[in-house]
Chains A and B, each alone.
Chain A
Amino acid sequence: LAKTTQPISMDSYEGQEVNITCSHNNIATNDYITWYQQFPSQGPRFIIQGYKTKVTNEVASLFIPADRKSSTLSLPRVSLSDTAVYYCLVGPAGAAGNKLTFGGGTRVLVKP
């Protein structure tokens, strides 16, 4: 399973764009990149998943360079409620029993 490295923490202010970069140098050809958000005392919530280039949904964008050795989660115009821990994971999508290995995550604090 590819190991991921993320910043431990990041501060931002309401209305700003937050970009979290994750390194995954030994990502495999069939690995996807998935990001989850976790609030205290709750389970992780799926944010976005991608394989290459750029993926966008209603809450975030995911930028993946051609070499796929890193990825950047972009949260546009954050609010106080976006304060959470964000996890980047890599692994094959759809494989039966696809185990996810959670790294330390990035603790994002959004200030007023």
Chain B
Amino acid sequence: GAVVSQHPSRVICKSGTSVKIECRSLDFQATTMFWYRQFPKQSLMLMATSNEGSKATYEQGVEKDKFLINHASLTLSTLTVTSAHPEDSSFYICSAEWGSQPQHFGDGTRLSIL
């Protein structure tokens, strides 16, 4: 089946640090990639939609200058949390889709800001 790889799986860093998370589609070319955030015991919340070579579309309430998304190729999208603070601590998950296939998700990145 389709595989989406996310790296790193866990990050612990100091407040003020910028953190980059990578999302790769390993065996297919993703037309669109999505970034979600999930707080404990809650559902996934869509942050942004990313298409290769174009600017990401952010959901209402998501700061685009805070969460920088780069989709440089059909197999790679990155999310950079800039100047992270403790309230940015969360579980970040990416997904990718192509053609008529359902979205496939990465295994998430646990971000902890001290």
- Which residues on A are within 8 Å of B, measured CB to CB? 34, 36, 41-46, 49, 87, 93-94, 96-105
Please tell me if B53 contacts chain A, counting CB pairs below 8 Å.
no
In contact, B43 and A97 (Cβ under 8 angstroms): no
In contact, B49 and A99 (Cβ under 8 angstroms): yes
8 interchain pairs, CB-CB under 8 A: A42-B107, A44-B44, A46-B103, A96-B31, A99-B46, A100-B103, A102-B36, A102-B43
Q: Which residues B73-114 have CB closer than 8 A to chain A?
A: 91, 93-95, 97, 99-108, 110
- Total B residues in contact with A, Cβ cutoff 8 Å: 30
* Residue of A with least CB distance to B49: A97
Question: B residues within 8 A CB of A97?
Answer: 32, 49, 51, 57
Given contacts A41-B110, A42-B108, A99-B34, contact A105 B100 (CB under 8 A): no
Smallest distance from the beta carbon of B42 to chain A beta carbons, Å?
8
Given contacts A41-B108, A42-B108, A99-B34, contact A94 B46 (CB under 8 A): no
- Which residues on B are within 8 Å of A, measured CB to CB? 1, 4, 6, 31-32, 34, 36, 43-46, 49, 51, 57, 91, 93-95, 97, 99-108, 110
Given contacts A94-B100, A97-B49, contact A87 B32 (CB under 8 A): no
Question: A residues within 8 A CB of B107?
Answer: 42-43
Given contacts A97-B49, A102-B43, contact A43 B31 (CB under 8 A): no
In contact, A44 and B51 (Cβ under 8 angstroms): no
Question: B residues within 8 A CB of A87?
Answer: 43-44
* Residue of B with least CB distance to A85: B43
